[in-house]
Amino acid sequence: MKSIQLTAATDENGVLNIQIPMEMPRQKLEVLVVLQPVVNHSDAILDTDVWPEGFFEATAGAFRDDPIKRGEQGEYEVRETIG
């Protein structure tokens, strides 16, 4: 038995086409398909021009209680001039 896991997307009509090359030509195979929606927004969104619904509402103010702080940068190194 060989298990193959992949992530695929449906087209605009909701049709899922899967092509899996096999090293077993002309054999009968039992195939089990399990459909699991992708829950990770970065994987689920195929159109990069569209933000997930509710994204800004869910992330706005996320660092309110623990703001990002830039630490000391130290002294700038003085270098000799060339030519």
Identify the residue whose tokens are 């130290």.
74
Contact by Cβ (8 Å): 9, 46: yes
Q: pTM value?
A: 0.37
Q: Tell me the DSSP string of the chain.
A: -----------TTS--------S-TT--------------HHHH---TTSPPTTHHHHHTTTTSSS--------PPPP-PPP-
pLDDT, mean of each 10-residue run, the chain (83 residues)? 84 88 85 82 59 86 87 90 87
Contact by Cβ (8 Å): 18, 6: yes
